Structure 1
Amino acid sequence: MITNFIKKNSKFMSLIKMEEVNKGKQLNLNDFSFHVPDDQVAHFPAKKRDSSKLLFYKGKSEIKNFDFKSLPDILPQGTLLIFNNTKVFPCRLQAQKDTGAQLEVFLLSLPNEKNPNCQAIVKPIKRIKTGTKLYFQEGVIAEVGDFNNNGSIPTVSLKFFSPPGVSDFHCWIDRFGQTPLPPYIKRQTDDSKNAEIDKKRYQTVYARCEGSTAAPTAGLHFTKDLLEELERSGIKSSCVTLHVGLGTFAPVRNNDIKTHKMHKEFYFIPSETFEAIKENIRSKNPIVAVGTTSLRAVESLFYHDCKSFENLSSYVDAWNETDLFIYPKTKNDFFSPRVLDGLITNFHQPQSTLYMLISALLGFDEAKRVYDYAVKNKFRFFSYGDSSLLWFKKKEMDDLKS
């Protein structure tokens, strides 16, 4: 009887077999492509931070639409939210060579009086070489040092020299630097009205530690009033710091994604946050990362040792590096976080490491389904776009010892 069924339905059975083969096939860069209509790319922030839409996802059977300001009613009481309190600095600068040729300099770290050296992206890079001097406003000069072509974006080392009139690099950069908007936001950043809007809105209301070259955009939806309402609703909050840099936004160039090299980023987890995480793990209350950078910071900490809280304590209250790249190797591959139950995050670019992370958390096919839903339901995409609350299954941590 079974033999007759197979003979009659051999084409159907072949399709099933082919689907299973495809699910086990290694994914490449092109597999993470999808189309976002131009009118759904957010070039400006919403009028009010918390007026954005929120996509709620909890498994295959549950996708719903909410307003972001409904978050206190959606999260279970006792949930711990983990924010990234990094602060964006205006790292985009204009410079020129002694020939008068104009250059754009994108600083990847802040120079200061004690350490005037920093890494930067210079465009067009073909116009400079080691020893080239770059001239900025108020007589500030930078000399080009070594080139680094190891990652997907080439960078250079710059050594800054300041004249006697410039005593504070931070103040100087704040005066002459521009907000580092992503390139997919198509408008003039030198427009004074928009520049003032971006300076305020491309920054979270809880930003404290300066050092990022891109905003942790999941946090852009929160207002001070909403944070207070979350607290009144029994939702707890803690912070980590991960300075957003090339590791987060550098594009993947190779079709074979496993060869992609993540740039290292610095993160810091204070003891208060570590204690709050321990408490929620023990009480089995949810832990939700606000943004992929918060997720990568927390998961990076627990990658050091997932057997003992005590062994992790040496990494707490200290700056650490991470180059954690989370992606699915096949369509059947999942990433199960060690700590987190959920993630609040925006909708990310096709072929980005951020979308690959979502695909690893939800599963490749489910991530596609969620993003298709977002497109069909007119969610706004990318940095200034709408948000999502994604729940997923984490690894059991019962074996962690105090």
Structure 2
Amino acid sequence: MRTDDLDFELPADLIAQEPAETRAQSRLLHYRRDDRSISHRRFAELDRLLRPGDVLVFNDTRVLPARFTLRKATGGLIEGLFLAEVCRGRWRVLLRGLEAYRGPLRVADAPEVVVNVVGRGEDGEYELVVPTDLPAAAVLDRWGRMPLPPYIRRRRRHDDRDEMDRQRYQTVFARLAGAVAAPTAGLHFDPQLLGRLDAAGIQRTFITLHVGAGTFRPVQSATLEQHKMHAEAYRISPEAAEALNQARRQGRRIVAVGTTSARVLESQPADEPFRAIEDRTSIFIYPPYRWKHVGAMITNFHLPRSTLIAMVAAMVGLEQQRRIYQEAINQRYRFFSYGDAMLIE
């Protein structure tokens, strides 16, 4: 499949720079595959759109405040993104602006902290030694910022919306820290909506996939078949496996909340029970694809030429994906991480 088939023109003013005033007041495009109908709703209506007995599968990863700024001895600034903790005090990061600099680096918001580059990889990856006995999550909580994607514009150092981003670029059910991007479909759920879903007989369970930096990266190859998919760590707990197996035994629908949940579910074998597992997945779902477990999906509107929009096309077909996105543009839906959502069933 040609990557160009997933391209589209989006007016810049439809790229959401801030979330909706309240989570569940986001708009929701409802697409039904059986009759190819499109209707326009509010996310708060979700409890009236799903079926009693449906099982919502949420990703409970917690986003780390993974962006940080370093300062060279010359005064120049280097932007950093935490990727992983190799061991206590040793981090794998992306750095932009380091280039050939070899001098000391201080944390811009904690100038008493000096970090050292001890390894250089490819594509801007480095290893840093950070003088601390604390886990990376605790250190980043002190002087990190939320890792908003570059299309959400913020001031380079401090922005009046930083605290809002800490609250709203995080799901209300986030639990296990490790993501450097949010599972954005989950951002629309608030406690009130979750309570109404409970009352409507709609069940939920949680898996964990730590969303990596490659999530929003556009496909660079000419065809999807040539693209090398990034791998991400995930976990299915014994409780989640049992909830999913029970739903399947009873013929109830599994609804993936977001592409990350869908990737975890579809990484499991089709002809075996779900089981508790910790693993990594590099599954790339694009047309044509036969879905094994996911019966419906809630997702945001995604970047052109991305692996995420390819998954939408795999669920509805390329022609319908184009139609849905054009309708969303015509109706002025808000796009990408802080934007509106769609329900595909």
Normalised by the shorter chain, which TM-score bucket?
over 0.9
1:258 match: 225
Aligned mates of 2:119, 2:26 — CA distance in 1: 44
2:38 match: 63
Partner SS for 1:354? helix
Q: Give the superposition deviation at 1:170.
A: 3.0
Q: Give the superposition deviation at 1:142.
A: 3.1
The answer on whether the counterparts of 1:144 and 1:156 sit within 8 Å (CA) in structure 2 is no
Aligned mates of 2:18, 2:156 — CA distance in 1: 11
Instruction: Indicate the larger mover: 188-197 or 27-36.
Output: 188-197
Taking structure 1 as reference, are residues 116 and 250 closer, same or farther at Cα in structure 2, changes over 3 Å only? farther
Aligned mates of 1:168, 1:277 — CA distance in 2: 33
Partner SS for 1:93? strand
Please give the residue correspondences for 1:315-354 in structure 2 after superposition, counting only pairs within 5 Å.
Answer: 316=276, 318-328=277-287, 334-354=288-308
Which of 10, 14, 35 is the equivalent residue of 1:36? 10
Q: Partner letter of residue 93 of structure 2? A: A
1:106 match: 81
Aligned mates of 1:258, 1:178 — CA distance in 2: 35
The answer on whether the counterparts of 2:30 and 2:40 sit within 8 Å (CA) in structure 1 is yes
2:128 match: 159
The answer on whether the counterparts of 1:51 and 1:67 sit within 8 Å (CA) in structure 2 is yes
Counting matched residue pairs gives 341
Q: Give the superposition deviation at 1:191.
A: 4.5
Aligned mates of 1:51, 1:120 — CA distance in 2: 36
Instruction: Indicate the larger mover: 227-236 or 37-46.
Output: 37-46
2:272 match: 308
Partner SS for 1:337? coil
Long gaps (5+) in structure 2: none
1:123 match: 96
Instruction: Indicate the larger mover: 170-179 or 267-276.
Output: 170-179
The answer on whether the counterparts of 2:69 and 2:157 sit within 8 Å (CA) in structure 1 is no
Taking structure 1 as reference, are residues 157 and 232 closer, same or farther at Cα in structure 2, changes over 3 Å only? same
Aligned mates of 2:299, 2:257 — CA distance in 1: 7
Which of 348, 353, 376 is the equivalent residue of 2:330? 376
> Does 2:106 correspond to 1:135?
yes
Q: Give the superposition deviation at 1:32.
A: 1.1
Q: Which has the higher strand share?
A: 2
Please give the residue correspondences for 1:228-239 in structure 2 after superposition, counting only pairs within 5 Å.
Answer: 228-239=195-206
Q: Partner letter of residue 57 of structure 2? A: I
The answer on whether the counterparts of 2:54 and 2:255 sit within 8 Å (CA) in structure 1 is yes
Question: Alpha-carbon deviations, 1:268-300, whole Å to 9, x = none?
Answer: 011111111111111111110000000001111
TM-score in terms of structure 1 length: 0.80
Q: Partner letter of residue 156 of structure 1? A: E
1:355 match: 309
Instruction: Indicate the larger mover: 76-85 or 99-108.
Output: 99-108
The answer on whether the counterparts of 1:132 and 1:143 sit within 8 Å (CA) in structure 2 is no
Instruction: Indicate the larger mover: 190-199 or 319-328.
Output: 190-199
Q: Partner letter of residue 116 of structure 1? A: G
2:177 match: 210
Partner SS for 2:313? helix
1:398 match: none
2:142 match: 175
Aligned mates of 1:133, 1:191 — CA distance in 2: 23
Q: Partner letter of residue 308 of structure 2? A: L
Aligned mates of 1:247, 1:191 — CA distance in 2: 25
Q: Give the superposition deviation at 1:100.
A: 3.6
2:23 match: 49
Taking structure 1 as reference, are residues 259 and 141 closer, same or farther at Cα in structure 2, changes over 3 Å only? same
Identity over aligned pairs, percent:
37
Aligned mates of 1:367, 1:327 — CA distance in 2: 12
Aligned mates of 2:186, 2:294 — CA distance in 1: 17
> Does 2:192 correspond to 1:225?
yes
The answer on whether the counterparts of 2:71 and 2:78 sit within 8 Å (CA) in structure 1 is yes
Question: Larger Cα Rg: Structure 1 or Structure 2?
Answer: 1
Q: Which has the higher helix share?
A: 1
Q: Give the superposition deviation at 1:186.
A: 2.4
Q: Give the superposition deviation at 1:230.
A: 0.4
Aligned mates of 2:214, 2:245 — CA distance in 1: 27
Aligned mates of 1:169, 1:286 — CA distance in 2: 38
Q: Tell me the C-alpha RMSD between the 2 structures.
A: 1.9
Which of 142, 145, 154 is the equivalent residue of 1:187? 154
Aligned mates of 1:298, 1:133 — CA distance in 2: 45
Taking structure 1 as reference, are residues 231 and 140 closer, same or farther at Cα in structure 2, changes over 3 Å only? farther
Q: Give the superposition deviation at 1:325.
A: 1.1
